[in-house]
Structure 1
Amino acid sequence: MSQTLPSRRHPFHLVDPSPWPLIASMGAFCTTIGGVMYMHSFNGGGYVALLGLTIVLFTMFVWCRDIVRESTYQGNHTKAVQNGLRYGMILFILSEVMFFLSFFWAFFHSSLAPAIEIGSVWPPQGIHTLDPWEVPFLNTIILLLSGATVTWSHHAMLHGNRTESITGLIFTVILATAFTSFQVYEYMDASFSIADGIYGSTFYMATGFHGFHVFVGTCFLTVCLIRQIRYHFTTTHHFGFEAAAWYWHFVDVVWLFLFASIYWWGNA
């Protein structure tokens, strides 16, 4: 005699099978291979990297779209799910801390005991470094202001002030775009490239990856701005914005270390 078992109800969300992790990994692979090919002057390397970056951006869009549907329209993000997402975001930021730690390690390893091949001096002879009190200092002020505006937006959201929350996010996105623009100008004006020895390698790897994180954070905050305009967030249900704010504060802190070590101390 068959017996029907009662369904087990729990607060967790069991996600449906998704193709986006596989497609995102393929895009990241193409971006990496294409970037290496481009840096070593292989034909078509730039196109491969652009293809991979396009795949990654497309996957980010559709994956976030699915998450928004699960959270806003299907109600799958219960308190237990939100707590799990918070732990996941914390672990992700910790992994990013270790990622940038490797670049700082390489920089200090090379600058505190300069090799004889570069003349035992830092910066190496022939490298005309950037003035830290021009564009880098301006970008520092811009990022600190953006950190203040995103905090303003968060507090306004917690108190149900939707207008101020949207205004704070708009200012944050504008400041983030200004930072990226000045970073591009700085790279175009620099007299050295990533191929100019250990100084160029450590400088562009550290600041370049930080610039990429600023770009990702800008996309993150722009999505949050659109969602706030479309009434996706409430005073108690807005983890997507919290994750973006945490990520942006992480970007701010990393830049402060970059400015103090690579731009200022490493320039002395």
Structure 2
Amino acid sequence: MSATQNGTKPYYYVPQPSHWPITGSCALLLMATGAATWFNAYAVGPWLVLAGFAVLLTMIFGWFGRVIDESEHRLYNKKVDLSFRWGMTWFIFSEVMFFAAFFGALFYVRNLSVPDLGDLEQKLLWPDYTAASPTNGPYLKEAFTPMRAIGIPLLNTILLVTSGGTITVAHYALKEGRRGALKLWLFLTIVLGVTFIGFQAFEYTHAYSALNLKLSSGVYGSTFFMLTGFH
């Protein structure tokens, strides 16, 4: 369906109503519910996460396929291209603000909250508490070791930056019509992404088993897993 300008020629492509957005929302809801139940030791948790992931993959292939089909039928023009760019711009902006909020939370805890917990007044409430960051707070006594920046976190950062470069090369290959180069650089991007996920899974396993760093390890643990998980 196309909107018209002055009632004559097609001006802006408006897609038909789609079920893919609500499908994606249901997938995320399943995954979030599954993760919450999994963390609380319910047996159904992993299955809900798996089901949500399967629905998410279905949505990705279906929705992307529809967009590609519309593009190949030349239903898009410069106005639609501009709307895509604005959509991606606002998405990136929302991601920046999301991570800024959690980095701000870490800054607040390290520089304001923890020193405040260690002052003279709070010593009367928690005499055994040592105000040092990272901390799991005065109530949680289970010790943990913070994740070092050097090692897997640094390696994963390098993988992410590199994958950004490979997908950019693939994009330019697509624009220039070099399908062989496009496939090669897209394949390398996928390999880097899968490698990143593998290292991330290993990092979480290492955090839980060797460092005793868990989602329940106070504000540091919850913020660490929130940032790296969404990352």
Normalised-by-shorter TM-score class: 0.7 to 0.9
Q: Report the 3-state secondary structure (helix = DSSP H, G, I; strand = E; otherwise coil) of the residue aligned with 1:11.
A: strand
> TM-score, structure 2 length as denominator?
0.77
> 1:165 matched to which residue of 2?
182
Q: CA deviation at 1:22?
A: 2.4
Alpha-carbon offset, residue 7 of structure 1: 5.4
Contact 1:11 1:81 in 2 (8 A): no
| AA in 2 matched with 1:197 | G
- The percent of aligned pairs where both chains have the same amino acid is 32
Relative contact order: is structure 1 or structure 2 higher (C-alpha 8 Å, sep ≥ 6)? 1
CA contact 1:156–1:165 (8 Å) conserved in 2: yes
What code does the residue aligned with 1:12 have? Y
Structure 1: 5+ residue stretches without partners: 1-5, 211-268
Residues 60-88 of structure 1: per-residue CA shift (max 9 Å, x gap) = 2212221111111x221122111111111
Please give the per-residue CA displacement for 1:96-129, whole angstroms capped at 9, x wherever unaligned: 2222222212222222231447631112273212
Distance 2:174 2:66 in 1: 23
Residue equivalent to 1:63: 63
Shift in alpha-carbon separation, 1:11–1:152, aligned structure 2, 3 A: same
CA RMSD of aligned residues (A): 2.3
Q: Give 2:194's aligned residue.
A: 177
Structure 2 runs not aligned, ≥5 long: 1-5, 119-125, 137-142
Higher helix share: 1
Distance 1:148 1:65, change over 3 A: closer
d(CA) in 2 for partners of 1:158 and 1:65?
Answer: 19
1:95-174 equivalences in 2 (<5 Å): 95-113=94-112, 114=114, 115-116=117-118, 119-124=130-135, 126-174=143-191
In structure 2, distance between residues paired with 1:27 and 1:146: 26
Judged with a 3 Å threshold, the aligned counterparts in structure 2 of structure 1 residues 142 and 32 are, in CA distance, closer, same or farther, namely: closer
Instruction: Please state whether the residue corresponding to 1:183 is helix, strand or coil.
Output: helix
Q: Which residue of 1 aligns with 2:223?
A: 202
**Aligned pairs, number:** 204
Q: Deviations over 1:21-70 (max 9, x none)?
A: 22322222222223222223345233233323322221222122211111
With over 3 angstroms needed to count, the CA separation of the structure-2 counterparts of 1:128 and 1:175, relative to structure 1, is same
1:88 corresponds in structure 2 to 87
Q: Secondary structure at the match of 1:150?
A: helix
- Stretches of 4+ aligned residues off by more than 4 angstroms: none
Equivalent position of 2:76 in the other structure? 77
* Distance (Å, rounded) in 2 between the aligned partners of 1:158 and 1:175: 22
Amino acid at match of 1:65: G
SS at 1:10 equivalent: strand
